A and B are shown apart, each in its own frame.
Chain A
Amino acid sequence: MLQHYGPQLVNLLAAVMLLLAFAMLAQRRIMSLINLFAAQGFTLFLSTILVASLTGQAHLYGSALLTLALKVLALPWILHRLIRRLNVKWDVETLLNIPTTMLFGIVLVILAFNLASPLSLLAGTVTKSTLGIALACVLLSFLMMITRSKAVPQVIGFLAMENGLFFAATGAVYGMPMVIEFGIALDVLVAMLILGIFFFQIRERFDSLDTRHLERLKDQ
């Protein structure tokens, strides 16, 4: 039963990942951006669990829990607190208008799929088709970081990229060795904390988190 529907479910979740990535790309409101990020993390968690149960890779459960703890609970919580403390609830201005961004996004997805299709054939895993989607997610979050002018959305994009990577790891290779996943998770967490500190400092210097204030260092 599960063996039969499992792979399809994984593909479904992959599709959801991609959908959420696009949603984030399109999203203007910062709160819902965070929520979308959390949702993406949750999807990631589900797919990891699913892959774990399908393949019986014990350590995947671990990494799934890690995902849950970090990407669904910790980070969104930190972000929410930050937003509240910094009370920045404004809409996210984009440097590029949304439709154009989406258009770019679609091009990226096509590229990612083309890139991944030969690799997926090689993948011996049940979740081979997810690699392309993971790649697409990474590229999309990259695009999002480029198009957002505020600090917080950029960070969210950064974290979303981590999600994509994580998904690639689980999708392509049943997750990396545990040591490394812990390491990665640790780094992400520390990065988040440092970012938190940064937000406050940037705030108190420029009383704004708009990265357009961060354009003084340049050559002319």
Chain B
Amino acid sequence: MTMSGAPVHEVLGVACAWLLIGALGLLRPASVDWTTRFLYPAGAVAGLALAAIALSAIFQPAASVVLPLGLPDLPFHVRLDALSAFFLLLLGAVSAGVSIYACGYFRQAQGTSLGLVCLYFHVFLASMALVMVADDAYFFMVSWETMALSSFFLVTVDHDHAEIRKAGYLYLLIAHLGAIAILLCFGALQAGTGDYTFEHMRALQPSASWATAAFLLALVGFGAKAGIVPLHVWLPEAHPAAPSPVSALLSGVMLKTAIYGLIRVTFDLIGSPLWWWGVLALALGLVSALGGIVFAAVQIDMKRLLAYSSIENIGLIFAGLGLTIIFHGFGMGALAALALTATLFHCLNHAVYKSLLFLCTGSVLHATRERSLGRLGGLIRRMPWVAWCALIGTIAIAGLPPSNGFASEWLLLQAFLFTPGLPHGYLNMLVPVAAASVALTAALSGYVMVKFFGVVFLGQHREARLAEAQEAGVWERTGLAWLAAACIFLGLVPATAIGLLGPITRALTGHGIGNLAQGWLFLAPINAERASYSPLLVFAVTSLLVAVAWLAVRAFYHGRACRAAAWGCGFPDQNARMQDTAEGFGQPVRHVFEPFFRLEQHEPAPDDANPRFSSSAEDRLWYWIYLPIARAVAYLTALVTLLQRGRISVYLAYSFVTLLALLLFIR
């Protein structure tokens, strides 16, 4: 336990600063200026500071401190190592953008006073930071549940609507169940010694069975938080319910804390994962990825769509993690490092572009009070800033070059291409299939994002009042620009970001990836001969070609253009209703992936006075898993209430029988 950790103290300082800022929010809970002029900007500065600290801390040796708080035998242990630092960097960088954006967003109170929202917001940030530096089970759980609780209050900020309350309830319930599972996992790891420090858990070498139990519990617990299928049901409810900056944090950062936790437990605390755990994680991940994106394709609420796409991305991350575990389990350290790099890099990218997109939906929501894709459209002309930022996010999330999303998916696919080397007959045949489904998912996300961007920003206004939509304010635009810039940076020079991951992979898998040999320009995980990719060059060449083409056309011909009504095959009266709706855009996917859905369609009869068409595609799992559980519990409760029928003789009989039973039992 080295006490030489300046960064640790600084991280704690930032966390305290956030808590303080939150508390200050209660001073003048009703004042808009107080929160948006001072507190949120201060929070953003703290976020930047955190990012800077974390950046410096990644390459420093792990340092830890002990706080004079906590349980008597278990003070709060805090430790900052490369892994924590990386996720703190993620948190700081994203939260900075979101906080700036929040200055413009939280301007009128809905249901909850602004000061209270400010408190929740910053407690949420602080608790996430603490989760990532906690070094004993108790502190971890305290921060973890505080995170869940504060985010619950954030989700239900506008608690007048019953469905929002319901969403928050479902979220907190699943989060709590997950937390109990994590808690039990730590219980399994401390093995009855009563020593809950991670230090001690690292030292212990659990038996295979205990390790497996711990891993499975962790998988359930963290999977519930990450929204992995089948524990994902809360996610598409909670994300739309929350205010957009909160959705951005939930999806961008909080889901990543679950990934952090799983990595921490699997590679750090348990230490020696078994390969088949990886298969489990891989399978779950792929199912989530495919399921998530397929459901995203049929959504008609833009935030739900993004929420489902979060499930997809988390699925990809889990797949990468599973691959890491498989490689690690077979002792193929270098490949494990590659897979882990891809995983972590994808975490970072998803954090950036998903929060960017959620913030864009926030601006759209602000400008139009409208969340349903069916009533949006053509906003690129009303709010170009938001539209272009959204376009960047769209390209990134669709995994197209030269964006950061493509870079991480490229790495992931590279990792998959090595799996035929696995010393296990079935695996190396299964994994090509896995690679295929990853490719399919990536392609589908392209489909989904075209739907998202095209329906929201392109085409004609589907509602007349959209013509009055206002461009986002300067605070909001700053926040968007910050995240968009991050997307571009990570996309064009991924090598620099991946350089940060070296210490982590070395610490967890014992290997780095031979990337930096190629310099910052090229991304060559194994060697240039095998595969290399330089987004910057691709981008340069492409834009050069575009410019040349443009100039050449201007030079050889002309640049004249005139405006006229849309042609549309000469139909006399085109109107906005003739555009493809969100449902229509989802129709092919609904058609192709029919088994995924619980479809309910209502076509109008031919002789219908006012014909209506409605179709809903619901999640089967809800009917296969959750409702049966609910029914079973209801049945049990009905059974139990028979104990309490109000007749005193019966009550006496209970204690009498108990007495006799015990007396017989000891005979």
A residues at B contact (CB < 8 Å): 95, 108, 111, 114-115, 139, 142-143, 145-149, 154, 211-212, 214-220
Distance in Å: Cβ of B487 to nearest Cβ of chain A: 57
Q: Which of A115, A212, A214, A219 contacts B667 (CB 8 A)?
A: A115
A215 contacts B653, CB within 8 Å? Answer: no
A-B contact list, 11 entries, CB within 8 Å? A95-B649, A114-B667, A142-B656, A142-B659, A146-B649, A146-B656, A214-B646, A214-B648, A215-B645, A215-B647, A219-B644
Asked if B663 is an interface residue, CB under 8 A from chain A, the answer is yes
Contacts of B649 in A (CB 8 A): 95, 145-149, 211
Across the interface, name the chain A residue whose C-beta is closest to B642.
A219
- Our pick among A145, A214, A219 for the contact of B652 (Cβ within 8 Å) is A145
Residues A215 and B646 in contact, CB atoms below 8 Å apart = yes
User: Looking across the interface, which residue of chain A has its beta carbon closest to that of B644?
Assistant: A219
Q: How far is the CB of B334 from chain A (nearest CB, A)?
A: 62
| Chain B residues within an 8 Å CB radius of A154 | 648
Contact check, B663 vs A219: say whether CB atoms are below 8 A apart.
Answer: no
Q: Is the CB of B646 within 8 A of A211?
A: no
Inter-chain contact B656/A218, CB cutoff 8 Å: no
The A-B contact count (CB < 8 A) is: 41
Q: Give Cα A88 to B656, complex, Å.
A: 28
A145 to B651, CA, bound (A): 11
Asked if residues B660 and A111 are in contact (CB atoms below 8 Å), the reply is yes
Check B663 against A111 for contact (C-beta < 8 Å).
Answer: yes
Name the A residues within 8 Å of B653 (CB-CB): 146
Give the CA-CA distance A115 to B665 in the complex, in Å: 11
Nearest 5 CB-CB pairings of A with B: A218-B646, A215-B646, A219-B641, A219-B644, A146-B652
A71 CB to nearest chain B CB (Å) = 22
- Give the residues in chain A near B641, CB-CB below 8 Å: 219-220
B interface, CB within 8 angstroms of A: 641, 644-649, 652-653, 656, 659-660, 663-664, 667
Q: How far is the CA of A217 from the CA of B645 in the complex (A)?
A: 8
Known pairs A111-B664, A114-B667; A143 contacts B646 (CB<8 A): no
Complex contacts, B659 vs chain A, CB 8 Å: 142
**Which B residue's beta carbon lies closest to that of A138?**
B659
Known: A142-B652, A146-B656. A216 touches B646 (CB 8 A): yes
CA distance A214 to B649 in the complex (A): 11
Rounded to whole angstroms, the CA-CA distance of A142 and B660 in the bound complex is: 11
| A114 neighbours in B (Cβ, 8 Å) | 667
Residue from A108, A146, A154, A218 with most neighbouring chain B CB atoms (10 Å): A146
Q: A111-B664, A211-B647 are in contact. List 14 more A-B contacts (CB 8 A).
A: A95-B649, A111-B660, A115-B663, A145-B652, A148-B649, A211-B648, A211-B649, A212-B647, A214-B646, A216-B646, A217-B646, A218-B644, A218-B645, A218-B646
Residue of B with least CB distance to A211: B648
Contacts of A115 in B (CB 8 A): 663, 667
Q: CB-CB < 8 A to A219: which residues of B? A: 641, 644
In the complex, how many angstroms separate the beta carbon of A208 from the nearest chain B beta carbon?
A: 15
Q: Which residues of B contact A147 (CB under 8 A)?
A: 649
In the complex, chain A residues whose CB is within 8 Å of the CB of B656 = 142-143, 146
Among A108, A142, A148, A219, max chain B CB count under 10 A is at A219
**CB of A175, distance to nearest CB on chain B (Å):** 24
Tell me the bound Cα distance from A46 to B667 in angstroms: 33
Q: Find the A residue at minimum CB distance from B663.
A: A115
> What A residues does B647 contact at CB under 8 A?
211-212, 215
Closest to B645 in A: A218
Least CB distance from A144 to B in Å reads 10
**Chain B hits for A143, CB < 8 A:** 656
CB distance from A217 to the nearest CB of B (A): 6
Query: In the complex, A148 Cα to B647 Cα: how many Å?
Result: 12
Nearest-Cβ distance from residue B592 to partner chain A, whole angstroms: 49
Q: State A36–B102 Cα separation when bound (angstroms).
A: 83
Chain B nearest Cβ from A202, distance in angstroms: 12
**B645 surroundings in chain A (CB, below 8 A):** 215, 218
How far is the CB of A154 from the nearest CB of chain B, in Å? 8
Closest to A145 in B: B652
Least CB distance, B478 to chain A, in whole angstroms: 57
Alpha-carbon distance A154/B667, docked complex (angstroms): 29
Q: Which of B646, B649, B652 has the most CB of A within 10 A?
A: B649
Q: Which residues on the B side are within 8 Å of A149 (C-beta)?
A: 649
- Nearest Cβ distance between residue B375 and chain A, in whole angstroms? 46
Taking CB atoms, residues of chain B closer than 8 Å to A146 are 649, 652-653, 656
Return B643 CB to nearest CB of chain A, in Å: 8
Q: Which residues of A contact B667 (CB under 8 A)?
A: 114-115
Chain A neighbourhood of B644, CB < 8 A: 218-219
Docked CA distance A146–B646 (Å):
14
Q: Chain B: which residue is nearest A107 at the CB level?
A: B660
Q: Which of chain A's residues have a CB closer than 8 A to the CB of B652?
A: 142, 145-146
Q: What is the bound-complex CA distance between A146 and B648, given in angstroms?
A: 8
Determine how close the nearest CB of chain A comes to the CB of B331; give it in whole angstroms: 58
Residues on B with beta carbons closer than 8 Å to the beta carbon of A214: 646, 648
Closest residue of chain B to A96 (Cβ to Cβ) is B649
Tell me the bound Cα distance from A150 to B645 in angstroms.
17
A219 to B641 alpha-carbon distance, docked (Å): 6
Query: What residue in chain B is nearest A215 (Cβ atoms)?
Result: B646
The residues of A that contact B660 with a CB separation of less than 8 Å are 108, 111, 139
Q: Considering only CB atoms, which chain B residue lies closest to A147 in the complex?
A: B649
Q: Which residue of B lies closest to A220 (CB)?
A: B641
The smallest beta-carbon distance between B179 and chain A, in angstroms, is: 29
- For the complex, what is the distance from the CA of A145 to the CA of B663, rounded to whole Å? 19
How long is the Cα–Cα vector from A218 to B646 in the complex, in angstroms?
5
B657 smallest CB distance to A (angstroms):
10
Q: Closest CB of chain B to A52's CB: distance in Å?
A: 30
* Chain A CB within 10 A, most for which of B644, B645, B648, B667: B648
CA distance A148 to B649 in the complex (A): 8
Q: What is the distance, in angstroms, from B374's C-beta to the closest C-beta of chain A?
A: 45
In the assembled complex, the CB of B660 is this many whole angstroms from the nearest CB of chain A, namely 7
Residues of chain B within 8 A (CB-CB) of A111 are 660, 663-664
Assembled-state Cα–Cα distance A199/B645 (Å): 23
Within the complex, the shortest CB–CB distance from A184 to chain B, in Å, comes to 20
Determine how close the nearest CB of chain B comes to the CB of A21; give it in whole angstroms: 15
A90: shortest Cβ distance to chain B, in Å? Answer: 18
Query: What chain A residues lie within 8 Å of B646 (beta carbons)?
Result: 214-218
How far is B645's CA from A148's CA once the two chains are assembled, in angstroms?
Answer: 17
Bound-complex Cα distance A187 to B647 (A): 26
A84, B645: Cα distance in complex, Å: 32
Min CB distance A7 to B, Å, is: 27
B650 CB, nearest partner CB in chain A, Å = 8
The chain A residue with its CB closest to the CB of B651 is A146
Q: Closest CB of chain A to B649's CB: distance in Å?
A: 5
- Name the residue on B nearest A112 (C-beta): B663
Measured CA separation A214–B653 after assembly (Å)? 16
Provide the bound-state CA to CA distance between A83 and B653, in Å.
26
Shortest C-beta distance, A168 to chain B (Å), equals 15
Residues of B within 8 A of A217 (CB): 646
In angstroms, how far is the closest chain B Cβ from the Cβ of A195? 14
| Distance, CA A143 to CA B644, complexed state (A) | 20
Residue in chain A with minimal CB distance to B647: A215
Instruction: Give the shortest distance, in Å, between B642 (CB) and chain A (any CB).
Output: 9
